[in-house]
Chains A and B, each alone.
Chain A
Amino acid sequence: MCATCGCDSGNNEHHHHNENHDHNHDHSHEKKLIDVEKDVLYQNNLLAEKNRGYFEAKNILALNLVSSPGSGKTSLLEKTLVDLKNELLFAVIEGDQQTTNDADRIHATGTKVTQINTGKGCHLDSHMILHALQGMKPSENSVLFIENVGNLVCPAMFDLGEKERVVIISVTEGDDKPLKYPDMFYSSTLCIINKIDLLPYVPFSLDKVKENAKKINPHLEIMELSCTSGQGLQTWYNWLKSKVFIEETV
């Protein structure tokens, strides 16, 4: 049994939905009202707080990267891991329904990586992250990228214990995406607009997407870049370093 969260580690049957609970004791059959007043996601939120405490104790900057499939999350990571490998220490958790393709790509950069396959699941949750951390043991003072399942809907509701949530969209998607998937843009702190080298070829307005994103979340930071041309990458790297620097001075 997992001592941290009480689950049977590696066994998905630990929720016991189909068991009949036999009660050997007598109990009355009068109706009783229980004031539960409990958040449905409290179990996820509790484990997310445990993860957050772990990150804080080890001074790990944990970032939850969310986007639609194909926005360039893994490419951005590959580029970042290679360009900053002499300046920052990295670890990566990859979330996908199937395959270890993304983990293989990250592994090729020489970075510590763990793949989580969610099977039919549409999002990562804090429980999966907790077990991934137990296995990979990221180094102190490192930056941990958690690449969520490509999905702009479901991962929005699940806190993983991250410090910042980074939503990535590419210019080949519509500039109304923030309005269509508001939960994700509302819950993120940074928005990266990727593939700006393709702007001349697509009907995508940078002004409009920024305006839409700010309507959903006035506090959202926005930056634009291209992994292919390298344009704007320095802004992203500076943002990352500024976050690490703040962590260290606290």
Chain B
Amino acid sequence: MHELSIVMSIVNIAEQQALDANASTIDEIELDIGTLCGIEMDALEFAWKQGIKKTILEHATKKINRIEAKAKCLDCNAEFNIQHYYDACPVCGEHFITILKGKELRIKSLIVS
């Protein structure tokens, strides 16, 4: 359940950002979460409900952009979407791939007032 630590980190960053902007409430938080970043979305939802209680995010709307994972084959240079780390290159069948996208786990933006 590292998702709870993740929610706590999000709360810390959001609180600091709101403080810096002289804002008292956060209306919306937008997150970028890649499909290979190691976050289980159900666990995140569960941890979110608990983790934001009595924090500045308690009444904020949460928007999540799921970023589809993309890889490049180091053998034939093909670029393709992947679902798993173990996916092979669809062109040449090799596993010698590098991940280009899908490891993101970041706060994109906040709407504060």
Residue-wise interface mask of B (47-62) relative to A, using a CB-CB cutoff of 8 A (1 in contact, 0 not) = 0000000111000000
* Selected contact of A214 from candidates B8, B23, B55, B95, CB within 8 Å: B95
B5-A37 in contact (CB<8A): no
The answer to whether B2 touches A122, judged by C-beta atoms less than 8 angstroms apart, is: yes
Instruction: Say yes or no: B96 contacts A218, CB within 8 Å.
Output: yes
Per the 8 Å Cβ criterion, residues 191-238 of A in contact with B are: 212, 214-218
Kindly report which residue of chain B lies nearest to residue A32, judged by CB atoms: B112
- Alpha-carbon distance between A214 and B23 when the two chains are bound, in angstroms: 49
Known: A34-B112, A38-B107, A154-B1. A27 touches B24 (CB 8 A): yes
Smallest Cβ-Cβ distance to B11: which chain A residue:
A17
B21 and A34: CB pair below 8 A?
yes
Question: With A and B bound together, what is the CA distance between A246 and B108 in angstroms?
Answer: 40
Q: How far, in Å, is A23 (CB) from chain B's closest CB? A: 6
Chain B contact-residue range equals 35 or more
Docked pose: A218 CA to B84 CA in angstroms: 14
Question: Residue on A with the closest CB to B26?
Answer: A34
Write the chain B residue with the least CB distance to A21: B19
Q: Is the CB of B2 within 8 A of A31?
A: no
Q: How far is the CA of A35 from the CA of B21 in the complex (A)?
A: 11
Could you tell me if B54 and A18 are in contact, using CB atoms closer than 8 angstroms?
yes
Bound form: Cα–Cα A16–B64 in Å: 25
Q: How far is A21 from B112 in the complex, measured between Cα atoms in Å? A: 15
B85 A29 Cβ-Cβ under 8 A: no
B8 interface neighbour in A17, A21, A156, Cβ under 8 Å:
A17
Inter-chain pairs besides A29-B113, A40-B107, 5 sampled, C-beta below 8 Å: A15-B12, A36-B17, A38-B13, A157-B37, A212-B86
Q: Report the 8 A-B pairs with minimum CB-CB distance, sorted nearest first.
A: A154-B2, A182-B85, A215-B86, A27-B22, A36-B107, A34-B110, A183-B38, A216-B85
